[in-house]
Structure 1
Amino acid sequence: MSTDTPPFGITICGIDELEGHGALGATHVLSILDPDHPVPEAFGEYGEHDRLELRFNDIIDPTPGMILPGPEHVEATLAFGRSLAADPQANLIVHCHAGISRSTASMVLILAQALPGEPAETILAMVHGIREKAWPNLRILELGDAMLGRDGTLVSAAYRLYRLQIERRPQLAEMMDAGGRGREIRAALALG
């Protein structure tokens, strides 16, 4: 049975939005930061919560001097996601720097794990509904899709979301292309 409703509360945001979300009553925070970025001060306003901090760059292919998202990051994300399932009152905030790529990809994987019977399109639509400017990091999705045994369906659904974003937000595609993410754009445009 398909649903449009996430199994727990979800907020996806960027660092500059964290301060405004302290009153949401987050029980869990997935914090994805660049390797050298300081811990956001906004967490001082948050109540007690479980927090996972991951540090890697928003890239999809090896780049000198940068940390590529790896299996260990995805495994940690999925383990954190399992802790959400154990809490019926879970309210998750997931953030990266802009709330567009690493955070949305991680949220796709957490939801795909929590809702194993849901089609990939539904999962991506759910994340897009929560964060309209979502452009999930392809490397994170490729690793997570394989770990979750989704047979490439999460990746294929992401290509369709990229295509939609290219049509609706060409500036987002330009930003991704400038950041070395042309592989995502080429995959989206290959859909025809």
Structure 2
Amino acid sequence: MHHTGGPGWRITMDTSAALMVALYLRDTASLAGAGNPALCATRPPARAADPHQLTAGVGGTASLRREWEDWWELLLRSHPTSHPELLPPQFQAFSGTPALQRLLQAHFGTAMSWTRERQSEYTLLAAGRETMGMTDILTQLVEDREMELGRNARDFTLTIIELPLTEPRAWFLEPDRLLMSSQLLEDQVNFRSYVQPVVELLV
């Protein structure tokens, strides 16, 4: 996790285990394009498993897609908490979404193992960035905008949620969040192209 800020403003960069689990399950079930925003595939890729037989008695893959999208929206709204709680093996909190419940029961263990590996990688990545000063660009973006406007930044918070995704890009969620590929910061020109317009909007 990285925090930076000044008088009245704060930017946080971190990852999210709950969102990673959800994305892994999305890709396992081949629900490409599901969710808003529709993020690209995970990296490394999830192990695909045909969900048709798993969900046949509870509405099939069409129901699974709807249920996953509702869950995804709820996770984004409730971040950084995870709601509803992921409590194996029955996942009782998902009894109202039976197709998603079956997907969780079948693949939660693999999803958690994959997520823990990604979390470990992110911890090392974040530590290396701090050592090299790569996150200083966040303060620089705010200060550049303040200089351009001739005033201090307005009070704002910006939460950047980094996820292991194949495409080095970001998705802005109004009013104050960015979903971002965890590899994007390594390309500071590309990073600036996504983050600078958001900072300019908030400052």
TM range (shorter): under 0.3
TM-score, length of structure 1 as denominator length? 0.27
Q: Which has the larger radius of gyration?
A: 2
Q: TM-score, normalised by structure 2?
A: 0.26
